[in-house]
Amino acid sequence: MYAFLLIITTILLIIVASQSIYSFTIGAPILFSPKESIFEALTYYKPKPGENFYDLGSGTGRSMLIASKKFNLNIFGFELSSPIAAISKFNFWINGVKKSKINLKNFYNEDLSNADIIFCFLTPKAMLRLKDKFEKELKPGTRIISYAFSIPNWNPDKVIFNNTPGKTYCYIKK
Ligand SMILES: C[S@@+](CC[C@H](N)C(=O)[O-])C[C@H]1O[C@@H](n2cnc3c(N)ncnc32)[C@H](O)[C@@H]1O
């Protein structure tokens, strides 16, 4: 019995570690953006209830939770790590969020054209790669909120400075 539990735990740890290393290599490590930055950026944009909110690399779902609970948005997340995605599902459940969609997919390969608002907390390398995708795919007027890292050569509509370690860059797709 003990050996069986040890094998299962080891397998789970290998899955978590390999997915985390993979997402770190292609996108960003697992970290959390400050709730106040997400809230301030969404408050600035005054989204209409029912708009589509996407988090690219949704982690434990904190931006999605704020988007759903405080702004009544339809929430969609993309996350490569299944254990982290499971935590976000649990997070939604304990907070009474009934409608959410977490895609266990690489966001670079997904169609983002239905997004009204995009949130990301990634890396400079990921923002450079997303820039082209945003230019090709997003509809004009899509709002993009990026915590800590700017989109290269795009002019932000607003930059939020608060007591958190990073700035929050807010853009509107032309
Ligand atoms: C810095 S965390 C941000 C989590 C969350 N958005 C937040 O602000 O609290 C970045 C997340 O993106 C995920 N990730 C990185 N690259 C990805 C990719 N290409 N597709 C889907 N998820 C990715 C990582 O697994 C990690 O959970």
Rg (CA), the chain: 17
**Predicted local distance difference test score (pLDDT) of residue 26:** 62
Which CATH architecture describes the domain 2-172? Answer: 3-Layer(aba) Sandwich (3.40)
Instruction: Give yes or no for residue 17 having a pLDDT over 80.
Output: no
**Predicted local distance difference test score (pLDDT) of residue 29:** 72
**Predicted local distance difference test score (pLDDT) of residue 21:** 67
User: What are 78's two structure tokens?
Assistant: 């993309």
Between 21 and 3, whose confidence is greater?
3
**Predicted local distance difference test score (pLDDT) of residue 7:** 78
Which atom in ligand 1 lies closest to the alpha carbon of residue 81? 25
Nearest CA to ligand 1 atom 23: 57
Name every protein residue with a CB atom under 6 angstroms from any ligand 1 atom.
23, 26-33, 55, 57-59, 62-63, 78-81, 84, 106-108, 121
Contact assessment for residue 95 and residue 30, using Cβ atoms and an 8 Å cutoff: no
**Is 121 in a helix, a strand, or coil?**
coil
> What pTM does this model have?
0.90
Give the separation between CA 108 and CA 95, rounded to whole angstroms.
Answer: 29
pLDDT band at 31 (very low <50, low <70, confident <90, very high): confident
Q: Pairing mode, if any, of strands 168-172 and 158-160?
A: antiparallel
**Predicted local distance difference test score (pLDDT) of residue 76:** 98
Between 31 and 28, whose confidence is greater?
31
